[in-house]
Structure 1
């Protein structure tokens, strides 16, 4: 099952699910029907069936949370180290430009921590820690901002031409006929 936050359940959500399972176990002992339990706890009938089977084989302890399905490869402490490395920039780590890509971050994690991530795993990792994708603006090296601003202010209004005022029944997107 996929979760919206890009990983497994949070600790709070896992504890909530465990409380539901233990409440269901109580009701199994009272002999309640599966469909009634599912309706009252607002879960699927199939989940209650799985819980009932586990409860019948191992009692309430079989319904206790076993923790997260998998632990992240990089702990919060190691991610803090990675963050410091990322702030140094790609050039400090041997790349020719100042653009961090997911594959470069993946390589850095492998070099620095000897851990293997997929590109998608790196994307989830950095997103989980509040980083976002940034696409650099592609600008020509020769670009002259003052000349561009002047052109937009002076030349473009002349090229654009006057717009006809909107009147009821007319489209505001039409220009006057060419003279």
Structure 2
């Protein structure tokens, strides 16, 4: 298995928005619409949530203002890698696996974990490496196509163009 930046992220300097960031962006847009006097049903359609969520947001907005709908700091255990370390890992992974001494230029969870440990000194479990790749880095799983090394594309094209029509036509 290989891991590569997702097509939507490749070539972009900015990491993708996290789920909490997207949710906050929806609530901020809803506040703008509240202030514009738009109905709850229209807001629900505009931001892509159910009307009950909009009613709940409106109650919070009326009670606490826009600041009541802002994202709060995440609870629970803090991540092992801070943002600076994640960027160091991103730069290291973008160099390719061969630049880090691996034979094939494919990333696996074990290889990424080894690079993370070398670059930051932090040891991550396979599950944490997966969350780092798919969540914080925005990479996705890419499976290489299995093809024989001896495969001859021009011979395959010739066979499809000449032999297959003859076989299909029959006697």
Normalised to the residue count of structure 2, the TM-score between the two structures is 0.54
CA distance in 1 between partners of 2:119 and 2:54 (Å): 46
Residue 74 of structure 1 deviates from its aligned partner by 2.3
Residue 109 of structure 1 deviates from its aligned partner by 0.7
**Cα distance per residue 1:78-136 (max 9 Å; x no partner):** 22221221122112212121111111101111121111222122122111222111111
1:61-100 equivalent positions in 2, closer than 5 A: 67-70=73-76, 71-100=78-107
CA distance in 2 between partners of 1:76 and 1:69 (Å): 17
SS in 2 for 1:132: strand
CA RMSD of aligned residues (A): 4.3
Query: Between Structure 1 and Structure 2, which shows a larger proportion of strand residues?
Result: 2
1:107 counterpart = 2:118: no
Any gaps of 5 or more consecutive residues in structure 1?
A: 1-6, 17-38, 44-64, 162-177
Any gaps of 5 or more consecutive residues in structure 2?
A: 1-17, 28-51, 57-70
**Cα distance per residue 1:28-54 (max 9 Å; x no partner):** xxxxxxxxxxx99988xxxxxxxxxxx
The answer to whether the 8 Å contact 1:126/1:132 transfers is yes
Q: How many residues align?
A: 129
Tell me the equivalent position of 2:62. none
- Bigger Rg over Cα: 1
Tell me the equivalent position of 2:143. 135
Normalised to the residue count of structure 1, the TM-score between the two structures is 0.52
Residue 66 of structure 1 deviates from its aligned partner by 7.1
* CA separation of 1:11 and 1:139: change in aligned 2, threshold 3 A: closer
CA distance in 2 between partners of 1:144 and 1:112 (Å): 41
CA distance in 2 between partners of 1:42 and 1:136 (Å): 47
SS in 1 for 2:102: coil
Moved over 4 A (4+): 7-13, 39-43
